Structure 1
Amino acid sequence: MIEVTNITAVLRTLADPTRRALFERVVGSEEITVVELTRGSGVTQGAISQHLKSLKLAGLVVERPEGRNVYYRARPEGLEPLVDWMSHYGVFWRDRFANLRTLLKEIDP
């Protein structure tokens, strides 16, 4: 069974388009700092930090402080609740389409 709180946190976090774009930038980098994420984003450093906090709380990124910089990297296992949820419904729809295909063959031989 899928843990509801995890899937809710992941979906809620990734529902925000700015946060989703930020997550994609983190995924595309081995590690990246807030300064690098802010550069060219059109979003303030404070807003980037808030979005990163949400991503971190949802388990989608981890941080590594080093001196004055904090480096962020994606945490792929944070997407597992979403993958599990999608897999569950993938089976559901596959079964429904198979039933529909069978029914259509019976109606129009």
Structure 2
Amino acid sequence: MIKIYHNPRCTKSRQGLAILENSRKEFEVVKYLDTIPSEKELTEIVQLLNIAPIDLVRKNEKIWKENYKGKELSDREIIIAMLQNPKLIERPIIINKNKAVIGRPSENILTII
């Protein structure tokens, strides 16, 4: 089943959700600010996306700029930072079986549904 990691307050995330709704396929919505993924789950998401953890970070967030920017962090430390501050996680993330994309731009979602 398709899964979307969604933030209802984010325009791009709402656009991603609309694409899934229009696809008429079954999907699960994970409001990741309410249901924070586990370290294992976030690590698996990064692996499915085939990116480094730093590439999943919203680097313009105030939390990042004030607490992490310019520091040398390991991949695990970056994942922990995202788990402690889930607003740092780029959104939306869509997973379909063994494929995943970040829905920015929204058209990326069409490649896996």
| TM-score exceeds 0.5 | no
Q: TM-score, normalised by structure 2?
A: 0.27
**Greater helix share, structure number:** 1
Q: TM-score, normalised by structure 1?
A: 0.27
